[in-house]
């Protein structure tokens, strides 16, 4: 039952990749403006992560999951009035509400999976459920391309339109999100009702999973270094994952890397808009899914391996492998550069769920707050890609991947040293 939640938030998060080009054409936005979609979405994690942890302590895991689903449903239905106006700020507002629900859902569902069984297999369970999250991220863009982009009209030159015709054009194009998001809202409400009625194993959010009684020093998660270091690890991991995924199309278009831009434009780097569309379609349809699909495959494999292998050691090995592949891609060209960066997805696979499990380990009644802090750190997905963009402008896209390398180096350290649990009562 909980696995369905992981699929849904992965599905809805990945739909942003479809909304970005669609909203850009409707409202004639520049890149800075349209990237507010991701900024608004991921910043919500930073604002509501810790408060959501407090909600878990207040009403428990199950009720927080239900509240998150219903909030997501409200966010999805808000796409209808945003499209009817149509208004880009209203679309952003709808995304913020949707992200608020996903934040609550993540803060409740991730730690619930970790405590729903023996502690030694917690990382394995979370990797299994996160594999279905990755399945959602693969399915979302396919769904969005079919039901939103396929029904949208051709991009037109609005400079020649009268105000009335321009508004009619915006309304027509924006309306393509109505049916998909109404359907999504209905599915979310039904899933919320199903979760509400399902009899989950009763696990109180305040239950202490450590021996002994809590002392005063224990009552703050900030006294637990493995939680704080874990939040930093989540920040840099999500940042590295999103940064690499966001730059793949531009990276593969470089003549010395994939060279597709040169190939389809007869040797000219200034391909016509139709050729650029063909290029993007080819990359999205063949290569990019390999990166995200690698996460799904790796998580299924990792779920089995972590039944026998120490999660911390396995995290370090996977982080070092990812770091090595990025280094290879940075210092090579052509097919080697392409396939080495695509393989990073496979080694990204277990990192988020393993970091999360190590970060909330042995936190007892503070598990909700620790989960909130870790989910807040997902804001790295808004910050690090932007920093990599600044680097790409200065030193080129090929060498800007030095930033993910530094991120993976930190994660490797966290797996073997930073994730060690230090009990304040032993101080």
CATH of the domain at 95: 1.20.1250.20
User: Does 299 fall in a domain?
Assistant: yes
Task: Provide the residue range defining the domain that includes 55.
Answer: 1-200
pLDDT the model gives residue 389: 81
| Phi, psi dihedral angles at 214 (to 5 degrees) | -75, 140
Beta-carbon contacts of 119 under 8 Å, excluding residues fewer than 6 positions away, are 209, 361, 362
Residue 378, exposed/middle/buried by CB under 10 A (0-12, 13-18, 19+)?
A: buried
Q: Based on the domain organization, do 232 and 195 belong to the same domain?
A: no
- Cα–Cα distance measured from residue 276 to residue 270, given in angstroms and rounded to the nearest whole number: 9
pLDDT the model gives residue 403: 94
- Cα–Cα distance measured from residue 69 to residue 71, given in angstroms and rounded to the nearest whole number: 5
User: Does 207 fall in a domain?
Assistant: no
Q: Based on the domain organization, do 234 and 376 belong to the same domain?
A: yes
Q: Give the end of a domain, one of 168, 200, 232.
A: 200
Q: How far is CA 65 from CA 72, 158, 303, in A?
A: 11, 44, 23
- Cα–Cα distance measured from residue 258 to residue 288, given in angstroms and rounded to the nearest whole number: 12
Q: Based on the domain organization, do 157 and 241 belong to the same domain?
A: no
pLDDT the model gives residue 127: 81
Q: Based on the domain organization, do 230 and 163 belong to the same domain?
A: no
pLDDT the model gives residue 66: 94
pLDDT the model gives residue 208: 36
- Cα–Cα distance measured from residue 174 to residue 323, given in angstroms and rounded to the nearest whole number: 41
User: Does 213 fall in a domain?
Assistant: no
pLDDT the model gives residue 186: 96
User: Does 208 fall in a domain?
Assistant: no
Residue 32, exposed/middle/buried by CB under 10 A (0-12, 13-18, 19+)?
A: exposed
Quick check: 382 and 39 in contact, CB under 8 A?
A: yes
- Cα–Cα distance measured from residue 186 to residue 360, given in angstroms and rounded to the nearest whole number: 33
Long-range contacts of 33-38 (CB under 8 A, 24+ apart): 33/88, 36/92, 37/91, 37/92, 37/95, 38/242, 38/381, 38/382, 38/385
- Determine the distance from the C-alpha atom of residue 239 to the mean position of all C-alpha atoms in its chain, rounded to a whole number: 9
Quick check: 332 and 256 in contact, CB under 8 A?
A: no
User: Does 216 fall in a domain?
Assistant: no
Q: Based on the domain organization, do 245 and 145 belong to the same domain?
A: no
Quick check: 212 and 369 in contact, CB under 8 A?
A: no
User: Does 215 fall in a domain?
Assistant: no
Quick check: 233 and 410 in contact, CB under 8 A?
A: yes
Q: Give the end of a domain, one of 148, 166, 200.
A: 200
- H/E stretch holding 88 reads helix 88-115
Q: How far is CA 55 from CA 102, 126, 139, 219, 375, in A?
A: 14, 21, 30, 17, 14
Going from the first residue of the chain to its last (427 residues), give the mean pLDDT of each consecutive group of 10, the final group possibly shorter: 88 82 80 77 88 87 93 96 93 95 90 80 82 84 75 57 78 87 94 91 51 49 89 95 79 70 43 46 60 84 84 94 96 88 92 91 81 89 83 84 95 93 58
- Cα–Cα distance measured from residue 36 to residue 43, given in angstroms and rounded to the nearest whole number: 10
Quick check: 100 and 57 in contact, CB under 8 A?
A: no
Q: Based on the domain organization, do 190 and 229 belong to the same domain?
A: no
- Cα–Cα distance measured from residue 337 to residue 395, given in angstroms and rounded to the nearest whole number: 17
pLDDT the model gives residue 211: 31
User: Does 136 fall in a domain?
Assistant: yes
Q: Based on the domain organization, do 250 and 286 belong to the same domain?
A: yes
Q: How far is CA 37 from CA 69, 86, 92, 291, 343, in A?
A: 20, 16, 6, 22, 27
User: Which residue from 173, 15, 158, 37 is spatially nearest to 93, judged by alpha carbons?
Assistant: 37
Q: Based on the domain organization, do 275 and 416 belong to the same domain?
A: yes
Q: Based on the domain organization, do 380 and 418 belong to the same domain?
A: yes
Tell me the helices (H) and strands (E) count for the chain, helix number first: 20, 0
Beta-carbon contacts of 315 under 8 Å, excluding residues fewer than 6 positions away, are 350, 351, 354, 355, 358, 411, 412, 414, 415, 419
pLDDT the model gives residue 318: 96
Quick check: 129 and 296 in contact, CB under 8 A?
A: no
Q: Based on the domain organization, do 349 and 237 belong to the same domain?
A: yes
Q: Based on the domain organization, do 331 and 386 belong to the same domain?
A: yes
Q: Based on the domain organization, do 184 and 242 belong to the same domain?
A: no
- Cα–Cα distance measured from residue 247 to residue 393, given in angstroms and rounded to the nearest whole number: 12
User: Which residue from 12, 24, 2, 305 is spatially nearest to 173, judged by alpha carbons?
Assistant: 24
Quick check: 318 and 268 in contact, CB under 8 A?
A: no
pLDDT the model gives residue 214: 44
User: Does 212 fall in a domain?
Assistant: no
* Domain count for the chain: 2
């Amino acid at each position: 039952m909980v696995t369905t939640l992981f699929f849904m938030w992965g599905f809805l998060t990945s739909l942003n990749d479809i909304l970005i080009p669609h909203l850009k054409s409707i409202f004639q936005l520049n890149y800075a403006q349209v990237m507010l979609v991701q900024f608004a979405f991921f910043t919500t994690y930073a604002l509501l992560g810790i408060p959501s942890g407090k909600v878990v302590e207040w009403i428990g895991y199950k009720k927080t999951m239900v509240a998150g689903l219903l909030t997501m449903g409200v966010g999805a239905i808000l796409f209808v009035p945003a499209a009817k106006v149509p208004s880009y700020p209203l679309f952003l507002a709808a995304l913020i509400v949707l992200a608020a629900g996903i934040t609550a859902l993540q803060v409740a569902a991730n730690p619930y999976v970790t405590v729903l069984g023996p502690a030694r297999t917690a990382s394995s369970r979370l990797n299994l459920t996160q594999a279905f999250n990755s399945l959602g991220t693969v399915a979302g863009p396919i769904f969005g391309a079919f039901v939103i982009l396929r029904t949208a009209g051709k991009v037109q030159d609005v400079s020649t339109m009268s105000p009335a015709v321009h508004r009619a054009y915006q309304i027509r194009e924006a309306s393509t999100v109505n049916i998909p998001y109404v359907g999504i809202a209905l599915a979310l409400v039904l899933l919320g009702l199903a979760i509400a009625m399902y009899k989950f194993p009763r696990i109180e959010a305040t239950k202490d999973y450590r021996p002994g009684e809590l002392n005063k020093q224990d009552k703050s998660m900030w006294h637990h270094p493995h939680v704080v270091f874990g939040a930093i690890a989540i920040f840099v991991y999500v940042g590295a994952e999103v940064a690499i995924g966001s730059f793949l199309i531009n990276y593969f278009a470089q003549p010395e890397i994939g060279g597709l831009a040169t190939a389809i434009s007869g040797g000219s780097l200034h391909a016509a808009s139709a050729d650029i569309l063909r290029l993007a379609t080819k990359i999205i349809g063949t290569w990019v899914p390999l990166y995200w699909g690698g996460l799904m495959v790796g998580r299924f494999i990792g779920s089995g391996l972590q039944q026998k292998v120490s999660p911390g050691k396995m995290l370090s090995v996977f982080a070092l492998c990812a770091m090595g592949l990025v280094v290879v891609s940075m210092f090579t060209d052509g097919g080697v550069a392409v396939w080495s960066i695509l393989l990073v997805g496979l080694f990204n696979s277990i990192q988020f769920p393993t970091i999360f499990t190590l970060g909330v380990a042995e936190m007892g009644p503070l598990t909700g707050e620790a989960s909130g802090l870790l989910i807040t750190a997902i804001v790295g997905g808004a910050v690090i890609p932007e920093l990599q963009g600044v680097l790409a402008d200065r030193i080129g896209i090929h060498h800007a991947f030095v930033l993910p390398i530094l991120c993976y180096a930190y994660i490797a350290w966290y797996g073997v040293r930073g994730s060690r649990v230090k009990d304040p009562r032993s101080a």
